[in-house]
Structure 1
Amino acid sequence: MPAVEVRDLHVSLGGAPILAGVDLTVAAGEWVTVIGPNGAGKSTLLRAVGGLLPAPDAVSLFGTRLGALRRRDRARVVATVAQSPVVPAGMSVLDYVLLGRTPYIPALGRESAADLAAVHDVLDRLDLAGFQARELATLSGGERQRVFLARALAQGATLLLLDEPTSALDIGHQQEVLELVDQLRGAHGLTVVATMHDLSVAGEYADRMVLLADGRVVATGTPAQVLTEELLARHYRATVKVIPGEHGPLVVPTRPR
């Protein structure tokens, strides 16, 4: 049974069509990265899969139609890291990451020792243990990005949706975050659906890539099949060189002649 199944997904926002009949299947344990130029509909697709946009009949998660999942049950299945999450004023890093344990805490109850242990483990793994008492507002963009990922990982969901997870990170923390996600995927059978702008990094981690343009899927396949000079020139209007790499194709922008 697929982890994610999207069939003929149409989404319009403010009267403008964003997605126009998207189909997508993601196997359990697979890492699929969605790429495409600005405005292609990548973030909208992730929001629809995560239940943040109304698409109850077009999306199924692990064999259950999205519309049939209660919000609490959905939160145990899917965790989303948005590009710019809303952060409550004055909230500490520890309290924010603890929000990821909300689906497991009874109404009017408090977090358990197991909840706290899960949070501290994730903070340690993401090099955030020294930040737990800090307010999020005092952190740099890259530090906040790691905190947003920590909350999603603390949630313990089996499907992880990452919308530009490394956009605010330096190259060292980019690698740390993506390696951690891949390690957790191997250890716990996570399924990952991500959007990314850095095509070389995307190709190094994805099992499969989906290229969106104008709200439609225009290519899908392995990174080597999707990251071609011809496809990138056509849909990104970019001049690039694609060089075979150890883990995937490396995309190098070059000046137009």
Structure 2
Amino acid sequence: MPAARPADGGAVRSSDAAAVAAVEVRDLHVRLDGTPILAGVDLTVAAGEWVTVIGPNGAGKSTLLRAVGGLLPASGAVSLFGTPSEALRRRDRARVVATVAQSPVVPAGMSVFDYVLLGRTPYIAPLGRESTADLAAAHEVLDGLDLAGFHDRELATLSGGERQRVFLARALAQGATLLLLDEPISALDIGHQQEVLELVDRLRREHGLTVLATMHDLSIAGEYADRMVLLAEGRVVAAGTPREVLTEQLLATWYRATVRVVDGDHGPLVVPIRPRR
């Protein structure tokens, strides 16, 4: 299933991606309701790379993704494919960045197909209608995510796992070059977790997508990420390959967890163990 592509280029073209980072975050500070959440975060994601941000609850992972996606003010701190985020108009940003949030708003009474079709909004003229290509893109991603029989179902009638796949389908239909995935598999069973992540990885390799994700499941995160960033107390405390970040010492320090790290075929596997009494 190829990733949906816009009929015309946005403000940032994929051909520019080879020369610049897909995401550049420098000294990002975010305060919410007066409380500091991020305190000087630096992050670089190369074009075509998969970077997963991990960290304990409250570390600021979702806040970081929201800032990168333009949903939180981050004046001068975030650039996308070499362009300062605040310089991008909303429609242009939507052609570059697609986000799958943890708990998206589900419009009342909306069908699965109509929801996925919303991903094509950046390519539809104001007061215009979707094209045949837009409809085909929506059908294509639904088929690729094993949702072919869900077109006319209302979103509200779906299980949590089914909804999560629909949320991803909308993001893929958007045809953006950067995917922001905030806990994309948290509501899925293990089979669909693998299907979704394999699909994202295949699209990344075949179509040059860049992925910035957050995940709680450390073993799965280590299986798919090229690099990992460990966020704690609002700052980056470790970054590198999965084998460099997923160490027993780092996880004990920042998660306060007793684990055993076992080397696997595609990355380290993190096994929780009961602490000795």
The separation in 2 between residues aligned to 1:101 and 1:87, in whole angstroms, is 17
Of 23, 26, 30, the residue aligned with 1:4 is 23
Q: Does 1:222 align with 2:222?
A: no
Structure 1 segments, 4+ long, off by >3 Å, are: none
1:18: how far off? Answer: 0.2
Partner of 2:121: 102
Secondary structure of the residue aligned to 1:56 is: coil
Question: Structure 2: how far apart are the matches of 1:167 and 1:189?
Answer: 25
Taking every aligned residue pair, what percent have the same amino acid on both sides?
86
Matched, 1:85 2:104: yes
Q: Which residue pairs with 2:66 in the alignment?
A: 47
TM-score, with structure 2 as normaliser:
0.92
Distance between the aligned counterparts of 1:215 and 1:97, measured in 2?
33
In the alignment, does 2:92 pair up with 1:73? yes
1:200 paired residue number: 219
Q: 1:87: Cα distance to partner?
A: 1.2
Match of 2:150 among 131, 145, 149: 131
Match of residue 23, structure 1, among 9, 21, 42 = 42
* Structure 2: distance between partners of 1:252 and 1:116: 44
Mapped to 2, the partners of 1:243 and 1:101 lie a distance apart of 43
Aligned to 1:256: 275
Structure 2 unaligned spans of 5+: 1-19
Residue number among 232, 257, 264 corresponding to 1:245 in the alignment:
264
What is the identity, as a one-letter code, of the residue corresponding to 1:49? V
Query: Equivalents in 2 of 1:42, 1:188: separation in Å?
Result: 26
Equivalence for 2:193: 174
Question: Number of aligned pairs?
Answer: 257
- 1:56 positional shift: 3.2
Counterpart position of 1:213: 232
SS at match of 2:231: strand
1:235 to 254, 265, 269: 254
CA RMSD of aligned residues (A): 0.4
Query: TM-score, normalising length from structure 1?
Result: 1.00
1:118 to 125, 132, 137: 137
Name the CA distance, whole Å, in 2 between partners of 1:194 and 1:26. Answer: 11
Distance between the aligned counterparts of 2:133 and 2:75, measured in 1? 33
Quick one: which of 183, 196, 202 aligns to 1:164? 183
Look up the SS of the partner of 2:198 in the other structure. helix
The aligned amino acid for 1:158 is T
Residue 238 of structure 2 aligns with an amino acid whose one-letter code is A
How far is 1:57 from its partner? 1.1
Structure 2 counterpart of 1:229, one-letter code: E
